[in-house]
Each structure stands twice: as structure tokens, then as C-alpha cells.
Amino acid sequence: MQPSVIELSIIVPTYNERDNVERVVAALDAALPGVRWEVIFVDDDSPDETFRKVCSLAQRDARVRCIRRVGRRGLASACIEGMLASCAPLLAVMDADLQHDESLLPRMLDALRSDAADLVIASRYAEGGDTGDWSAERKRMSLMAARVARWTLKTELTDPMSGFFMLRRRCFDHCVERLSGIGFKILLDILASTPEPLRILELPYRFRTRQFGESKLDPKVQLEFVWMLCDKTLGRFVPTRFIAFSAVGGIGILVHFAALWLLFKIYLLDFLVSQTGATLIAMTGNFALNNAFTYRDRRLRGWAWLRGWLSFVLICSIGAASNVGVAAYLFHSHQERWVLAALAGVLVGAVWNYAVSSVFTWSVPGRMRP
């Protein structure tokens, strides 16, 4: 059998990392002498044109490859596409900002070559590891997120949120169809999606300080983390979008009562007028929240926002009517058990609103529209 041409593909997601990519290649070159490796940068069309820099490096060094994704964003999905573009038997994922210590790569590689593990995780929290000079706040948040992840995954791993790891491509191939691809946490995604138990080894390392460029971890990324955990737990039973839609609906009830109180009690308007006004305000709030969060990947803007709002209000009005209809019917036919009747009505209304708005308000571009 011929030895594989490339043994190890290192996937490096990038967004505005122009000043780092050349340093990453030099660091890999120094860290992996005698290894047949390649590096695949997956760039989401960075405004700073990181992809140009990568392409010019690739012109000089055949071990460097570039995938430029246009109109897409996301660390986890970028890693998945990078791994899919590789045919090497071993895959690694590493950040582009030199915060991950590349000198750990040979030991990670050895563990896979000697069949001591299927997946090797570089851990900041294992004995001997360190998060470097993080603020107390960031450290606390990271530890808390790791605890939640351990709890949902039922794992003992010290750093299930690490962005630095190496695994057999066979293990990736086995879970790729189940991956969520949402947010930052690609390792967590793999751990939660693998159909067979993996033999995992953690190696400690010290997280370095970023020298060039900025971190992309923002509140949106944190929300995506919650989304992914939902997807990996409750998502097996109910679509995660429906959970988010219902959570927004719950907030809508609070908005409704706040608006009603304002209109009816403070502005002393007629009850029917106040109730109608509060309903409209709550629907508009729900629409805005769903547009920004539940359907952030199909977000409507400008005129499409207005059209979407109109369709949402119409759909929810029908939803409210069916809610009341079902509840009234059950109330009379089931010995006036009002709580159950009301809950059934709310559920029917919510499912209707969700199902119909997913098709008409936030239709999948190019599929539902002629």
C-alpha cells in the first residue's frame, strides 16, 4: 500500500486574521518537522481580505490551501467544511491567532499514531494547563460554560469547549451528518453527535495571548452556544426553532401585560382599545425578536421586514382565533377544566403560528418564492 500523501490536515478557521496567517504557517513548519501535513484555511470572505494573503502563501507553499466562503459566517461550520475538503486520515482544528500552542501537535499526533486515542483534546483546564492572562470575568464564564457542557454531555472532560484538537477522520465521517454546525463549539458538536464512544485523551497547554487582530466571541456567539446545547438535548424531540419561537412567545405575554397596563391603567383608554393595542405591540415585539434570533439566518430587512411583519400579524391573528376556538370547545366538552382547555388552545395557536410563519414569513430563500 502506498503511504498517504498527506497524513494530517490542520483546519484553521479565519475571520480578519490577515496578520496572523503567515505566522501560523511558520509555526506549523517549525512544530512538525518530518510530518506530511497541510493547512486548510477556511475564510469567511473576511473584510481584511485574509483569503488573499492565504492564496499568496499557497502560491509559494503547496502545503497551504484556502477555502473562501462567500455570504456565510460561522466558526463551527467553517471547520466542518475544511474537514470535508480534506482526504487525510488525521484532522486537527486550530485557531489562527496563535493562542493555541502548536508545539503540542507532535504529541497529539503520536497519541493517534500509537492508537492510544481516537480524539486528542488540548485542554486549558487539565492538570498543568492554563488560560493565560484572561480576565477573571472571561475565566468565570468559560468555566461555567464548560460545566454546563459537561452536564449536558454527561462527560468528565476538563475542556469540552476547546477549539484545539485532533481526531481520526473516520470519527469525523461517522458523525458529520448529525453535526449542528452552529456557533463556535465544533468540538462540543462532535462530542454530542458521535454515534460510538470515542477514546479521548486530554493534554494540558497554556492558552496564549492574542497579539494581532481581535476576538470574535461576542454575545451573539454566547447565544449560539445556548442554541446548540438545546439542539443537542431537547432538539432530538422538538425542533430547536420551535423552542426559541415559544420562548419568544413567553416574552410576548409579558410585553402584552406591560402594554395593557400602560394603555388601560395609565392612559385610561377603553379596555377593548387597550387590549387590541397591547396585542399589536406584543405581536410586533415577537416578530422583531423572532426575526433577530429565531430566524437570524433568514433575517428580513427593509421592505421585506414590513411585509414579514404584516404576514406575521395576519398569521398570529388566525392563530389566536384557533386558540380561542379550541379552548372554548374543550372547556365545554370537558367539564369546564379551564386550565387544560387554555393550555391546549395555547399549544394549537403556537404550533399554527410557528408552522405557518416558518413557510410564509421566513420562507427559505429560493425555495418557497417563485
Report the interface residues with ligand GDD, using CB under 6 A: 13-15, 17, 42-44, 73-75, 78, 95-97, 99, 142, 161, 163, 184-185, 215-217
Would you tell me how many other CB atoms lie within 10 Å of the CB of residue 88?
19
Least Å distance, CB 158 to ligand GDD, is 13
Q: Rule CB under 5 A: is residue 231 a binding residue for Mn ion?
A: no
Sheet with 90-93, strands from edge to edge, namely: 64-68, 37-43, 8-14, 90-93, 165-168, 119-123, 200-204
CB of 210 to Mn ion, least distance (A): 5
Residue owning grid cell 405591540: 281
User: Taking CB positions, which residue lies at the least distance from ligand GDD?
Assistant: 163
The runs of H, that is alpha helices, within 290-337 are 303-333
- Cell match 410576548: residue? 252
In whole angstroms, the minimum distance from the beta carbon of 370 to ligand GDD comes to: 32
Tell me how far, at minimum, the Cβ of 68 lies from Mn ion, in Å. Answer: 21
Q: CB of 207: closest distance to ligand GDD in angstroms?
A: 7
What is the spatial distance between Cα 319 and Cα 347, in angstroms, rounded to a whole number? 10
Residue 202: which of ligand GDD, Mn ion, none does it interact with, CB under 5 to 8 A by kind?
Answer: none
Shortest distance (Å) from residue 282 CB to ligand GDD = 33
Element (H, E) at 107: helix 105-113
Task: Give the residue with the Cβ less far from Mn ion, 169 or 216.
Answer: 216
Q: Which does 68 bind (CB under 5 to 8 A by kind): Mn ion, ligand GDD, none?
A: none
Rounded Cα distance, 8 and 37, in Å: 5
- d(C-alpha 234, C-alpha 284), whole Å: 27
> Using CB distances below 5 to 8 A depending on partner kind, what does residue 217 bind out of Mn ion, ligand GDD, none?
ligand GDD
Q: Candidates 47-55, 93-101, 197-205, 235-243 — which segment interacts with Mn ion by CB under 5 A?
A: 93-101
Closer residue to ligand GDD, CB minimum distance, 69 or 355? 69
Reduced to 3 states (helix: H, G, I; strand: E, B; else coil), residue 261 is helix
* Contacts of 321-327 spanning 24+ positions with Cβ under 8 A: 322/348, 322/349, 322/352, 323/348, 323/349
Q: 10 Å Cβ neighbour count for 256?
A: 19
**Interacting span for Mn ion (CB under 5 A) from 91-99, 194-202, 218-226, 301-309:** 91-99
With b for 16 or more beta-carbon neighbours within 10 A and e for fewer, the 10-47 pattern comes to: bbbbbbbbbebbeebbebbeebbeeeebbbbbbbbebe
Provide the minimum distance between the beta carbon of 279 and ligand GDD in the complex, in angstroms, as a whole number: 38
Task: Return the residue of 16, 20, 77, 99 that touches Mn ion, per CB under 5 A.
Answer: 99
CB nearer ligand GDD, residue 95 or residue 231: 95
| Residue 97 makes contact with Mn ion by CB under 5 A | yes
Q: Which is nearer to Mn ion, 214 or 270 (CB)?
A: 214
In the complex, the residues that contact Mn ion under the rule CB under 5 A are: 97, 99
